[in-house]
Amino acid sequence: MRIRKATINDISSINALCHEQLAGSHSKIRHYNREQNEYSLNDYNLSNLRIIDLLFTESLMKEKIENKNIYFFVAETKKKQIVGYLIISVHYPKKKPVIQQRAPSFYAYIERFYVSCQYHGQGIELALLNSFDYWKKHKSTH
């Protein structure tokens, strides 16, 4: 498994993972029907979920990749298949806090994080998160 920076060429693979993520969440949604003592998908209006909100356009992908305050990395198998991705945006405090000794130098926000369900339990999630830790330490020294 290799963790590397995302490129514009990864857009179709990442969008495929987005589709999997949405389809996976549908399969896990259940509603309990007390009268029939069972769970059902039929009670949910899935049309309110918009796939367009999950997919990347080329312009959005470029914006994320080119932004120096965004960490956008992918997990890739030895066969060059992308099986996960992590997007974290880094924000710096606008105001100096009153107590300087405990003030963080930045805040990180996980925008998107997904690993294909076929690759769960292989440490990929942790590898992606650890790569961000390495990235932020390396970035702070430069």
Q: How many domains does the chain have?
A: 1
The number of beta carbons lying within 10 Å of the beta carbon of residue 84 is 24
The list of the chain residues with pLDDT below 50 reads 25-34, 37-46, 141-142
* pLDDT confidence of residue 76: 95
Helix (H, G, I), strand (E, B) or coil at 25: helix
CATH number of the domain enclosing 44: 3.40.630.30
Long-range pairs of 46-55 with CB within 8 A, sequence gap ≥ 24? 49/22, 51/18, 51/19, 51/22, 54/18, 54/19, 54/21, 54/22, 55/15, 55/18, 55/19
What does 7-23 look like in DSSP terms, one character per residue? -GGGHHHHHHHHHHHHH
User: pLDDT per residue over 68-86, tens digit each?
Assistant: 888 899 999 999 999 999 9
Range of the domain at 95: 2-140
* pLDDT confidence of residue 142: 42
